[in-house]
Structure formats: C-alpha cells, structure tokens
Structure 1
Amino acid sequence: MVEGWFGGEGDAFRLLGTRCSACAAVFFPREDVHCRNPRCAGGELVEVPLSRRGRVWSYTDGRYRPPSPYVTDPELPWEPYALIAVELAAERLVVLGQGVPGLGVADLAVGMEVEVVPGVLHEDAETVWTTWQWRPTTGVRS
C-alpha cells in the first residue's frame, strides 16, 4: 500500500497519522506539508500512532472487481469483501478500510467495536502488498 501509513507488528500494529503542534488536529492519511485546518496558522506536523480500536460508523460490501490500479488475479473468481468506515476511539476520525477475510456485512452493526490489524491486499511470486483491515473485537453477529 502506501509507505508510512502504518507500521508495527502484532499488538504494536498501528495506522500512522500526523498531529499539528499548533492546533492539535490529527490527519489520516498523514499530512507532511502543512496543517489542513483552515483556522490554523500552521505548526510542526508530528507523526502519531492512531488508536487501534474504534466503532463501526458505516459499512457496505464490495461486490465488483475494482478497475486498475487495484490489483487482482482475473483468473480467480471475485470474492466480495466488507468495506468499513470506523470512527477511531481517541481521535474521533473516520478511517475507511476492508474487513478481515471472511467478514461480511451480515456480521457488522453500526457501533460495533473493531480493531485495526495487518492484512494482505494482494500477493504474487515476488511481492506481498500489506494493508490494514478491521476485525471485530468480540464474536461476530449471528
């Protein structure tokens, strides 16, 4: 995916954002040039690890194969996936991402607690493209 947007392994895996030292606004994706807050004169932008947990704000399912540059194997059948908007616990920032494999929209509910985990977006013989995914913190709905 995009270098610098996440890092760490296991329980240390985090999305990485930036915080403005002048107004304390937090940004994801990260901002490395200037504060996006129109009311702020600007300050130093400092990298910050974002909350691991949040609550489902909205969700839908991806039922079609996205166009390029999204990479998929056209020889394999398309598998729908859950696309989840999560409001991070501390930052109150909404971040979009895929659900973990096997998680469908029938398993989700607005307000459900989820956590960010590393996942595989695509892999081939030479490369594994890693991304973030959302996983429920408790058993999925039945």
Structure 2
Amino acid sequence: MVAGWFAGEGDGFRLLGTRCSACGSVFFPREDVRCRNPGCAGGELPEVALSRRGRVWSYTDSRYRPPSPYVTDPDLPWEPYALIAVELESERIVVLGQAAAGVTVADLTVGMEVELVLGVLHEDAETIWTTWHWRPTGVTQ
C-alpha cells in the first residue's frame, strides 16, 4: 500500500487526493507541496476523498511482467490483466488502475460505468500489498 493514496474498506474505500484551495484543481496522486496548475498562484492543498465511480476513458491488456517496484513472484508464470483509465465522476480527472480479478478487456467498453474496489497487488507469507482496482458496476466479486 502506498501511504496516503487510499484508505478505508468496503463501501468506505476511497482514493485520496488533494484539492487546491485557490483554484480548485484536484490532484491524484496527491500533491502536498504546491499547486501543479501553472495558472494558479497556489493555495492550501487539503486532502480530499475522490469519487468511487467513473467512466472508462480507455483500457488495454498488460501482457508483460512490469519491472520493479511492481511486486510479482518471478517463479510463477505471468498472468495478464486489464488496465483501465477511468474519468472520475465528480473530479473529471483520469486515474489509471488495474481491473478487478476476473475482468478482462472483453468485458470493457469506453464509457461504461466502473467503481473503485480494494484489490490485492501481491501477497506472500508475510505481507499483503493492497491497491485499488476498477470493476464494472453491477458486477460482484
């Protein structure tokens, strides 16, 4: 888990970003130093919970094993997964993430509604690395 990027469980699971108090720009990953909007003189950057739903902006297959710091077991065969770029419902920013387990590119269409769910990036005997995943609405895990 990347500290400060997401929090909660179940229906309370949310991505965490920041919003500039001067111009209203929303940032994910979070921005804690200065507003990234070049037209803004800057303001406070309070943490905000981002929308749990959005629409598929784009998607693709990940057919290769990503390099470090992505965590995988090199002794296991690589399992491809779908990557989804989602335009968040309220913030209108695009956030990239993996599809939930069992969701493939064949299940996705541009414009379909998806929701944020807690996912497992990798686990071993000592640690479970959590992350966020996107799942089409109306689909249960």
Q: TM-score, normalised by structure 1?
A: 0.95
Q: What residue is the counterpart of 1:44 in the other structure?
A: 44
Q: Which one is further off, 64-73 or 39-48?
A: 64-73
Partner of 2:23: 23
Which residue number in structure 2 is paired with residue 101 of structure 1? 101
What do you get for the CA RMSD once the two structures are aligned?
1.2
Taking only the aligned residue pairs, the percentage that are identical comes to 81
Cα offsets for 1:80-128 (capped at 9, x unmatched): 1000000000000000000011110000000000001110001111111
1:138 CA displacement: 2.6
User: Counterparts of 1:51 and 1:127 in 2: how far apart (Å)?
Assistant: 28
**What residue number does 1:136 align with?**
136
Task: Report the AA paired with residue 103 of structure 1.
Answer: V
Equivalent residue, structure 1, for 2:14: 14
Q: Quote the residue 1:32 is aligned against.
A: 32
CA distance in 2 between partners of 1:108 and 1:12 (Å): 25
Q: Which runs of 5+ in 2 are unaligned?
A: none
Please tell me the residue identity of whatever aligns with 2:89: A
Q: 4+ residue stretches of structure 1 with deviation over 2 A? A: none
Q: In the TM superposition, what is the alpha-carbon distance from 1:69 to its structure 2 partner?
A: 2.0
The CA distance in 2 between the partners of 1:30 and 1:15, in whole Å, is 10
Q: Which moved more, 1:68-77 or 1:127-136?
A: 68-77
The AA in structure 1 aligned to 2:46 is V
CA–CA distance in 1 between the matches of 2:68 and 2:51? 31
TM-score, normalised relative to structure 2: 0.96
Shift of 1:139: 4.8
SS at match of 1:83: strand
- Is 1:124 aligned to residue 124 of structure 2? yes
CA shift for structure 1 position 43: 0.5
